[in-house]
Amino acid sequence: MAQRFDHCRLIGSQITYLGRDGLFESRRDMSWNEFSAWDLLEKEGWELVTVIVNEDGHEVAYFKRPTQTNR
């Protein structure tokens, strides 16, 4: 069976949780300062996938982690 992943993105200090297939889920998004946002994602087991620059010139970091079955 293929492994499934959750995804999220980080723009500045805004964490947005995405669904396994890249679609938005109904999970609460959170705002932090930039350092604490990166720290939280690391502690929760998120792995950095890529960083792009969006049309506004902001860096957008995308993360993944294996889907947690106990949610």
What tens digit of pLDDT does each residue of 7-48 get? 999 998 888 888 755 555 545 566 678 888 899 999 999 999
Q: In this predicted structure, what is the pLDDT of residue 23?
A: 55
* 6, amino acid identity: D
Residue 30 tokens read as: 């959170």
* pTM greater than 0.85 (yes/no): no
**Under 8 Å between Cβ of 60 and 7:** no
Element (H, E) at 33: none
